[in-house]
Chain A
Amino acid sequence: MNFTLKIWRQKNKNDKGRFASYEIRDVSPDASFLEMLDILNEGLAKKGEEPVAFDHDCREGICGSCGIVIDGRAHGPGRGIATCELRMRSFRDGATIVAEPWRAKPFPVIKDLVVDRTSFDRIMYAGGYISTKTGGVPDGNAIPIPKPVAEEAMDAAACIGCGACVAACPNSSAMLFVGAKVSQLALLPQGQVERKERALRMVEQMDAEGFGNCSNTFACEAECPKEISVAHIARLNREFIRAKVT
């Protein structure tokens, strides 16, 4: 397959950035989007040009490192996939594909398609943890948890923190990410100790980082590679209100 790529190139944080066009030929329809970028970069390196920088690690949709807005969609067309799981057969042969980094104030571009997502880490430091006695492995059945609750918590825990929710949101809101993290721990007995402070502190940090307000467009849920439900945003709101009034 052949494609014309319009890729955002930006030297560093302070560079203004611009789109550059590249032609790429004979790409396998089974290649992932990242593999296609590898092929492009090999060609660029051979020509002595600077390769396109992009984040990646596991390349099997579980690490949350990759993330590119492709043709106006976070992680490209398709549902429930990360950029590494996007195959080139999803595009028309000869198509022009536009690739841009996540766009949000709290995610400044470091280089080309790579953004700084440490704002998510700082939200996690604020409350995304539990206090527990470390040491020996606890008995798996020591704390009984009903199956539906465990399932709901697991669905929230599926969040890989890629930031697609922020990238897709017209307001650059991080409510789905924070909602998933708060939900996961609020549902389980282990998360009860810091339950109140967690909701308050994580929301406070989210606001301090400059993320926008959720306007319930639910673009986040549609673009989340782990298909995390906006019901977790409702739970975050509930947890926040609960923490404020009790």
Chain B
Amino acid sequence: MKSLFAFFSSSIGKKIVMSLTGLFLCTFLAEHVAGNFLLFMNDNGAMYDAYTEFMSHNIVIRTIEIVLAVSLVGHSISGVIVWLKNRRSRSENYKVYKLQENTPLASRITMITGSFIFLFLVVHLRTFFVPTRFGTEAVSPYTLVVQSFSNEWYSAFYIVALIFLSYHLRHGFQSAFQTLGLKNKKYSRLLDWLAVIFWLLIPLGFASMPIYFAFFYKAGPAALVLGVQ
């Protein structure tokens, strides 16, 4: 127990927590985007609703959901602790400091991108997770998606959040492997390619949904009933 505490209180220990939780959150993103592609099935959401029904009742998924929540909290808390400590380590700011000449933008703004993603998650869970899981009346998740994304401003907020997510993962994904000591000359090119899936393809996949429903979706009979244009 004592050594476990020493591990988490060490600088590298906290970062290992960040990388492991971060990578787990990445696997969730991959599953989430893949499942959400069912929105494009053109069946008025029959398959999508069946999929969410399965996800919210399957015992395995529900268990993983708890791990996911713990990971998110762990990632956020250790991120804030690391960030606060880092601010305290600098004695005084430089009058001239050209960090931008040596470092990529994504690596300098993880706290900003992370905070925005956290804010987005609060809104996102409030819109979709809370009404479907805890709502008193049964709602079709598909209809919720159609309704929410038919508001261009709401869709725009999603797209901005996805740009932040992309920047966050542009740095975070490869950073996790570096922290776990798994990055070296042999694998760094492979990792760079693997990272493209997370910082480019997955955010693009997610962004296609608000873009489609806000601008290209022709309201089907189910949406018309709800008064969506």
Residues of A at the B interface (CB closer than 8 Å) are: 6, 19, 69, 71-73, 98, 100, 103-109, 168, 170-173, 203-204, 206-207, 210-219, 222-223, 230-231, 233-241, 244
B94 part of interface (Cβ distance < 8 Å): yes
Find out whether the CB atom of B182 lies under 8 angstroms from the CB atom of A234.
yes
Additional pairs, 7, CB under 8 Å, beyond known A210-B88, A235-B181: A168-B102, A170-B99, A170-B103, A212-B89, A217-B104, A235-B184, A241-B12
Find out whether the CB atom of B181 lies under 8 angstroms from the CB atom of A234.
yes
Q: Which of B90, B91, B171, B183 has the most CB of A within 10 A?
A: B91
Residues of B at the A interface (CB closer than 8 Å) are: 3, 7, 10-16, 82, 85-86, 88-99, 101-104, 107-108, 110, 171, 174-175, 178-185
Find out whether the CB atom of A234 lies under 8 angstroms from the CB atom of B184.
yes
Find out whether the CB atom of B89 lies under 8 angstroms from the CB atom of A223.
no
Q: How far is the CA of A215 from the CA of B19 in the complex (A)?
A: 11
Q: How far is the CA of A103 from the CA of B95 in the complex (A)?
A: 11
Question: Measured between C-beta atoms, what is the minimum distance from B97 to chain A in Å?
Answer: 5
Find out whether the CB atom of B95 lies under 8 angstroms from the CB atom of A100.
yes
Q: Is the interface of A mostly helix, strand, loop or mixed?
A: mixed
Find out whether the CB atom of A207 lies under 8 angstroms from the CB atom of B10.
yes
CB pairs A–B below 8 angstroms (7 shown): A72-B99, A73-B98, A203-B10, A233-B178, A238-B180, A241-B12, A244-B3
Find out whether the CB atom of B10 lies under 8 angstroms from the CB atom of A204.
yes
Find out whether the CB atom of B102 lies under 8 angstroms from the CB atom of A173.
no
Taking CB atoms, residues of chain B closer than 8 Å to A230 are 178
Find out whether the CB atom of A73 lies under 8 angstroms from the CB atom of B86.
no
Question: Measured between C-beta atoms, what is the minimum distance from A16 to chain B in Å?
Answer: 10
Find out whether the CB atom of A98 lies under 8 angstroms from the CB atom of B96.
yes
Find out whether the CB atom of B86 lies under 8 angstroms from the CB atom of A170.
yes
Find out whether the CB atom of A218 lies under 8 angstroms from the CB atom of B107.
yes
Find out whether the CB atom of B96 lies under 8 angstroms from the CB atom of A72.
yes
Q: How far is the CA of A123 from the CA of B14 in the complex (A)?
A: 20
Taking CB atoms, residues of chain A closer than 8 Å to B108 are 170, 217
Taking CB atoms, residues of chain B closer than 8 Å to A213 are 11, 14-15, 82, 85-86
Taking CB atoms, residues of chain B closer than 8 Å to A222 are 101-103
Find out whether the CB atom of B179 lies under 8 angstroms from the CB atom of A212.
no
Closest A residue by C-beta to B172: A216
Q: A105-B89, A170-B86 are in contact. Are A216 and B7 (CB under 8 A)?
A: no
